[in-house]
Amino acid sequence: MEVSKKVGIVISLILALLFTTIIVAKANHRNSELNEKVQVARATHYIPAGSAINAQDVNSVDMVKSYADGLVQYNDVIGKTTRVSILKDQYIYSDGLSTAGFLKQGYVEVYMPVQINSSAFALPGDRVDVYIVNKNTKTSAKALSAALVIDSLDNQGKEVEIGETDRSKVTSRQDHPSAVGIMVPEESAAQIVAAADEKNVYLVKCAPEGS
């Protein structure tokens, strides 16, 4: 009888320990889920509505996953267009972005063929000065200043991978810009289109507006 009691006590202790272990494990798992962090994008400065976001506009910061619902990661925000204005240090929500190129009233988008040297490796969100080259006189003239790059395509018509800056690999991968879409005032479109058709356009990357 005494032996049976001892066995019962031991079994009870084992079961209690097992249940305690399960409860602690579940609590730790729950706590781990609550404290799990993800990388989200945050604005480094004020970004007006309708702006194409580039790498300098955002940084990547840690955020507890449970609080990150609706927020976008750094890699998912580059090249997107803002639907609303974003303040400095504000986290960026997916519904505040658009994949469509943004055109201001009175502007059109013009695609122009470029080579590696004439492309400035321009990516969406960059600003470029547009020069028209006269191959006969070997001179050039600036046609546009700080034009917004809306799109950048490789020679397969695919978007150039944003974030790839290793120029030494560009020629082997063939993912440098072969055509760049920029926002052009309507009154300048005819001149730019004619130059693009003759492949006489040269892009020079410049500082963003207001910098």
The CATH number that applies at residue 66 is: 3.90.1210.10
For 86-98, what is each residue's pLDDT tens digit? 888 888 888 777 6
The last residue of one of the domains, among 51, 77, 98, is: 98
For residue 8, what pLDDT is reported?
A: 61
Note whether 126 and 183 are same-domain residues. Answer: yes
Note whether 146 and 163 are same-domain residues. Answer: yes
Which among 173, 183, 54 has a CA at the least distance from the CA of 130?
A: 183
Which among 68, 74, 39, 71 has a CA at the least distance from the CA of 54?
A: 74
For residue 89, the enclosing domain spans 35-98
**pLDDT bracket for residue 125 (50, 70, 90):** confident
In-domain check, residue 16: no
* Residue, of 142 and 49, whose pLDDT is higher: 142
Note whether 75 and 116 are same-domain residues. Answer: no
In-domain check, residue 15: no
In-domain check, residue 152: yes
Residue 83's identity, in one-letter code, is R
DSSP labels, 107-158? EEEEEEE--HHHHTT--TT-EEEEEEEETTTTEEEEEEEEEEEEEEE-TTSP
In-domain check, residue 19: no
Note whether 114 and 72 are same-domain residues. Answer: no
- Strand-pair category, 139-153 with 127-134: antiparallel
In-domain check, residue 194: yes
The last residue of one of the domains, among 49, 69, 98, is: 98
What's the first-to-final CA gap in the chain, in angstroms? 89
Mean per-residue pLDDT for 28-55?
76
Note whether 150 and 195 are same-domain residues. Answer: yes
Note whether 111 and 199 are same-domain residues. Answer: yes
Mean per-residue pLDDT for 133-158?
87
In-domain check, residue 29: no
Q: Is the pLDDT of residue 132 over 90?
A: yes
Both tokens assigned to 90:
């504000």
Note whether 146 and 194 are same-domain residues. Answer: yes
CA 28 to mean position of chain CA atoms:
35
Note whether 113 and 172 are same-domain residues. Answer: yes
Count of structural domains within the chain: 2
Both tokens assigned to 124:
């969406």
* Cα atoms found within 13 Å of the Cα of residue 88, Cβ hemisphere only: 3
100 vs 83: CA distance, rounded Å: 10
29 vs 166: CA distance, rounded Å: 41
For 139-149, what is each residue's pLDDT tens digit? 999 999 999 88
Note whether 180 and 153 are same-domain residues. Answer: yes
3-state secondary structure of 77: helix
Note whether 174 and 133 are same-domain residues. Answer: yes
Identify the H or E element spanning 75: helix 74-77
**pLDDT bracket for residue 192 (50, 70, 90):** very high
Note whether 153 and 85 are same-domain residues. Answer: no
Whether the full predicted model's pTM is greater than 0.75, yes or no, is no
The last residue of one of the domains, among 79, 98, 117, is: 98
In-domain check, residue 26: no
**pLDDT bracket for residue 113 (50, 70, 90):** very high
Note whether 132 and 160 are same-domain residues. Answer: yes
